[in-house]
Amino acid sequence: MEENKYEGLNLPNYNIPEDIQNVVSITTIDRLYNWGRRWSVWPLMFGLACCAIEMIAAQTARYDMARFGMEVMRPTPRQADMMLVSGTVTKKMLPSIIRLYNQMPEPKYVVAMGACASSGGPFKEGYNVVAGIDKFLPVDVYIPGCPPTPQALIAGMIKLQEKIDKQSIKKVRWYEKGKVDSNYVPMPILGPDLIDVRRNTEIKQAAAAKEGA
Amino acid sequence: MYGKGILKGLGVTLKRFTDTYLEDISWWLRGKKRYYTEEGVAHRSSKNTRGIFTVQYPEEQLIQPEEFRYVPFLVYEEGADGKKEPRCTSCGICAKVCPPQCIWIVRTNNPQTGKPVPEPAEFYIDMDICMNCGFCAEYCPFDAIKMDHDFDIASYGRNVYNLEKLLKPASYYAEIRPLNYNREEEARKAKEAAKAAKADAAAPAAS
Amino acid sequence: MATALQTQTVDLVARFPEKVTADSRAGYSGFIVNKENLVEVATALRDEFGYDLLSNVTGVDYIAENKMEVVYHAFRTTGGPGLVFKVQVERVDPIELPSMVGIWAGAEYQEREIWDLYGIKFTDHPDLRRILLWEGFEGFPLRKDYKEGFFEEEAKPFKSRWPDGKHVFAEMKNPFRDNLKFPENFDPESYQPEDEKDLYASLERVSKPLTEGEMKTDHIVVNMGPHHPSTHGVLRVAVTLNGETITGLKPVMGYLHRNHDKIGERNTFLQIIPYTDRLDYFNSMANNFGYVTTVEKLMKIPVAERAEYIRVIMAEMSRIQNHLIFVGMLINDLGSMYTPSLYAFEERELILDIFEAVSGARMMCNYFRFGGVVRDVPEDAMQKIKDLVHDRLPAKIDEMERFLNQNEVLVARLTGVKVLNAEDAIRYSVTGPVLRAAGVPYDIRRADPYSVYDRFDFDVAVRYHGDMMDNYLIRFDEMRQSLRILEQALKQIPEGPINSQKPQYQVRVPAGEAYGRVESPKGELGFYVVSNGKPNPYRYHVRAPSFVNLTALETICSGSKIADFVAQLAMLDIVMGEVDR
Ligand code: SF4
Ligand code: SF4
Ligand code: SF4
């Protein structure tokens, strides 16, 4: 499966007898599985900020993401395959985003669209801004730009499709035994500042080490 | 009559629908290709566009205006032995003007004298902070940093570009922004000519 | 045309000797009112002098003088320049001031914002809770002594970037390795987060009590958002329902609070321009316009003649594009998904093509500079603007009208459903199309002209019912008027330089204050800028129309059916980037 680069559904290096070439095609399960998934990535209908407008623009007539099977924007996370984090992630919003992510069924992908979602972007220094959604969610594709133009977004989506192509049904986390919730992210808490509960001890130590001054 | 308004509206959608095919036929009759050609894309972005409006990226691409900006890059001149000679003098103006402060420059110092040398030792731009504002390109006095047209830069990791990744040849710049490039070249030549003339004028006086 | 009433100056000092003094700081204007007499003076301003619209309230922290100041900008809906008055208090907690909500209801959310960010208590405010941040947040971030987790230096440019700018992630400099800040010895494990009982308590307060003979039923609390397809971004609305009727409603915002003001105070004057793009991200041109006009006021520099026209052209194109999207999105919210908005987006794309050609970016234009614009409009782009304005857009707006405006379902949904009447609209400081649809012909382009708007012949669009249908139709009227302005501007535009200043990255702004406002497609977009002569502003505040208009949402919706709620919200045409900033 090493050369598993996408080359259409058929396995090209297998000789199919000429007379049945147009009725038979040979593929691997991986390929069929990935082919099905890559053309039906349903995004969560979920916009955060300015980037969301370009995401909407990418859905409209001129760019038409339907050509990639990505036009079915699902308002509920239960039916979505991909979370397109389109915009600035604020501390106040973060718990809702994590909750949405946890509700998405596997396989699920996260795409960080724009500078803000990738690292906080121009607002990184702000007191209410999370410096990148990758602090909490596993991001699959980063799309730089502020905002990425719809074409750049589609280019990013093609990157995501390529990533899907490389996955193998034998190794993906959602079929591994005993690891159903491998991607569950504990909910952060809004306290005096954002509390990432996975880092409680670290925070406690750092807060104690700050000394009187 | 109740329902007239709805019918009228449906008429509009029907017209939009048929327009696509009428336009197709008219292009076909004129013996021109409507799809996957620059002419077709240009027509679809003009005031006369009718019917289908989709530009099928990546097979076709929108025609980018010269001023289109995405992320910045550094311009280098090709030296004699293929060496990259960045135009940048590490004057630091772009780092100062950058609104989110995402440019990091280490200036080269002469190891002997410790005096600054006009060339960057290290140059970083955090592309995941850059807000594509274009200020760096606008205020760089040496035309050393410019805004790129290439938007296909999505990746599987964070993007902090270093000097090597930022450098692109001047020929590339001339290709994406011909008007700007020529204007700047002319200005530079004029300036050099003026300087030479001044030197010429000053030389006899000095000797 | 200024009438006598518009130009009549107000001498508050003569009217209230002892209680009011003129603000005599260099570069400042207006009056300073004693804290004790604030309510009295404000009432007189509204009732005697006719300043019926309190458009902007904001705070300033003068830490060196150990003072906090609250600044009020009041205007007359009949037009004319505004009046500034301020009140100063000692900077010692608890800082308390009387609330203006009883006089101008539009102060409600703005005062909550001041409480949230400055920690100034408004004593008789009906519902003083944090608005942009959450209950439990530590500190008041806009105070000058507040330092956030990634704090690096007081002002940009930061010294660490050059000449020895080894790249380090900001995380590495923070003890918590992230954009965090906790009080000393904070223990996250034993921390009990505050719940939202205050929010629900305030909902209960606003819910209408039962009238005599009404059956007692349980009210249901419904939370819509922040993840909801029809709240136009990350707005959350908590409503109480009696059956299907809305009895109480509170918007909860701050889910996109990006600390625009705080970052702005650190930026240089120039660096703020691209940040303003990201306020109302549909109309970056209009935002640029408002900001540069304000700073030009402070700098007292002229604007190049050609640039003035280019600015107007861009702002009006932006308005058309915004209203088209408004129509598309409204129909989406009403449940007729996609087709109208797809049509609207088509025209928007063509307009954005022009923005891209002149400025380089589709949405975040960053096109205006102090004294002019960045670059001239290229020949082909100018031709395209003419093509659109003369041929395409009028026809397409007509088509949109044919497509929708007689649709029986739409007409039935919109006609007669209330939005706001004139009195309420003014009381709540609502501006923009919503105010005009209620019958108040208040348009800043006419009432207090800026740029070259006084040279164009156009009508202020007004409609009188104040219902959803009028709010919807007025957008079409405004697009038509914009086209009229555009036609004239394209005819009159002179040749010449596009900037009165040399391009420079450090601008000198003399000390002083200025409040500039423009008619953005959503309403009055104001900027309050205080300079102390340094390269970065001392105070930078955005008076966002979407934010202030939301104050009226409760009044708009209470008594309506929940099914109409999304449409009523859509009428306000809010953008979260601007609401939360
Ligand atoms: S990356 Fe830029 S355009 Fe996108 S949300 Fe952030 S500020 Fe807005
Ligand atoms: S402004 Fe231009 S020359 Fe100066 S450091 Fe930046 S890129 Fe180099
Ligand atoms: S485009 Fe703007 S944000 Fe990006 S590096 Fe240049 S100045 Fe900085």
Provide the CATH number for the domain around residue C27: 3.30.460.80
Q: Chains that contact B by 3+ CB pairs under 8 Å?
A: A, C
**Ligand 2 contacts CB of residue B103 (under 6 A):** no
Chain C positions in Cβ-Cβ contact with residue A194 (cut-off 8 Å): 180
Chain A positions in Cβ-Cβ contact with residue C137 (cut-off 8 Å): 190, 192-193
What's the whole-number average pLDDT of chain C?
A: 86
Q: Which mutation among B131, B133, B153 tests ligand 1's pocket best, with the greatest number of atoms within 8 A of CB?
A: B131
pLDDT tens track for A30-71: 778 788 888 888 888 888 888 888 988 888 888 888 888 888
Whole-model pTM above 0.80?
Answer: yes
pLDDT tens track for C200-251: 777 776 666 666 776 666 778 888 878 877 767 788 888 888 888 888 888 8
Q: Of ligand 3's atoms, which has the minimum distance to the CA of residue B131?
A: 3
Domain assignment present for C375: yes
Tell me the C-alpha distance between C99 and C81, whole Å: 24
State the pLDDT at residue C95.
Answer: 86
**B65-72 mean pLDDT:** 89
SS3 C96: strand
CA of A54 to the centre of ligand 1 (A): 10
CB contact under 8 A, B92 and C405: no
CB contact under 8 A, A125 and C255: no
Cβ pair C22, C11 in contact under 8 A: no
ipTM, 2 decimals? 0.89
Q: Whose CA is nearest to atom 7 of ligand 3?
A: B98
If asked whether residues C113 and C36 sit together in one domain, one would say yes
Cβ pair C430, C53 in contact under 8 A: no
CA of A64 to the centre of ligand 1 (A): 21
**Strands B103-109 and B116-126: what pairing?**
antiparallel
Domain assignment present for C202: no
CB contact under 8 A, B53 and A146: no
Domain ranges of chain B: 1-63, 72-192
The dihedral built from the CA positions of residue B170, B173, B179 and B180, taken in this order, carries a sign that is negative
- For C251, phi then psi, to 5°, come to -75, 140
Query: Does residue B109 have a pLDDT over 80?
Result: yes
State the pLDDT at residue C530.
Answer: 92
State the pLDDT at residue A1.
Answer: 36
Nearest alpha carbon to residue B104 among B120, B117, B116, B118: B120
Residues in contact with ligand 3 (CB, 6 Å cut-off): B 72, 98-100, 102-103, 125, 130-136
> Which CATH number goes with the domain that contains C437?
1.10.645.10
Which of C153, C166, C167 should we substitute to test contact with B (largest number of B Cβ atoms within 10 Å)?
Answer: C167
Q: Which residues, 6+ apart, have CB-to-CB distance to C213 below 8 Å?
A: none
State the pLDDT at residue C416.
Answer: 82
Residue in C177, C189, C282 nearest the CB of A53: C282
If asked whether residues C174 and C301 sit together in one domain, one would say no
Cβ pair A141, A159 in contact under 8 A: yes
Determine the Cα angle at B19 with ends B14 and B21, to 5°.
110
Tell me the C-alpha distance between A148 and A153, whole Å: 6
Q: Whose CA is nearest to atom 3 of ligand 2?
A: B88
Percent of chain B with pLDDT over 70: 98
State the pLDDT at residue C23.
Answer: 84
Ligand positioned closest to the Cα atom of A88: 1
Note which residues in 161-200 of chain B have CB less than 8 A from chain C: none
pLDDT tens track for C463-501: 888 888 899 999 999 999 999 999 999 998 888 888 888
Core vs surface per residue B57-88: b (16+ CB within 10 A) or e: beebebebbebbbbbbbbbbeeeeeeeeebbb
CB contact under 8 A, A127 and C259: yes
Q: How confident is the model at residue C527 (pLDDT cuts 50, 70, 90)?
A: very high
pLDDT, greater one: B92 or B82: B92
If asked whether residues C118 and C160 sit together in one domain, one would say no
The number of C-alpha atoms within 13 Å of C340 and in the hemisphere containing its C-beta is 27
Nearest chain A residue to B56, by CA? A63
State the pLDDT at residue B117.
Answer: 82
Domain assignment present for C85: yes
Query: How do the residues of chain A divide into helix, strand and coil, expressed in percent and rounded to 5?
Result: 40, 10, 50
pLDDT, greater one: A27 or A94: A94
Tell me the C-alpha distance between C453 and C216, whole Å: 56
If asked whether residues C73 and C164 sit together in one domain, one would say no
CB contact under 8 A, A57 and C345: yes
If asked whether residues C321 and C402 sit together in one domain, one would say yes
Name which of A18-32, C363-377, C478-492 the model is least confident about: A18-32
Q: Whose CA is nearest to atom 8 of ligand 3?
A: B98
Domain count, chain C: 3
CB contact under 8 A, B99 and C274: yes
If asked whether residues C453 and C538 sit together in one domain, one would say yes
State the pLDDT at residue C4.
Answer: 46
**Ligand 1 contacts CB of residue A138 (under 6 A):** no
CA distance C274 to chain B (A): 6
**A170-187 mean pLDDT:** 73
Chain C positions in Cβ-Cβ contact with residue A45 (cut-off 8 Å): 229
CA distance B134 to chain A (A): 11
SS3 C289: helix
State CA C385 to chain mean position distance. Answer: 28
- For the record, the structure tokens of A99 come out as 């909750």
If asked whether residues C159 and C273 sit together in one domain, one would say no
Under an 8 Å CB criterion, which residues of B touch A?
Answer: 52-58, 61-62, 70-71, 99-100, 126-132, 151-159
Distances (CA, A) of B174 to B62, B143, B170, C151, C376: 20, 12, 6, 40, 20
CB contact under 8 A, C392 and B47: yes
Structural domain boundaries enclosing C34: 4-123
Tell me the C-alpha distance between C252 and C134, whole Å: 10
Tell me the C-alpha distance between B60 and C304, whole Å: 40
**B80-95 mean pLDDT:** 84
* Domains present along chain A, CATH in parentheses: 50-162 (3.40.50.12280)
Q: How confident is the model at residue A12 (pLDDT cuts 50, 70, 90)?
A: low
Nearest chain C residue to A54, by CA? C363
CATH architecture of the domain covering B72-192: 2-Layer Sandwich (3.30)
If asked whether residues C82 and C169 sit together in one domain, one would say no
Cβ pair B104, B124 in contact under 8 A: yes
State the pLDDT at residue A5.
Answer: 43
Report the helix count and the strand count for chain A, using DSSP H and E.
Answer: 6, 5
Q: Which mutation among B70, B94, B102 tests ligand 3's pocket best, with the greatest number of atoms within 8 A of CB?
A: B102
Tell me the C-alpha distance between B131 and C364, whole Å: 9
Name which of A180-189, C123-132, C308-317 the model is least confident about: A180-189
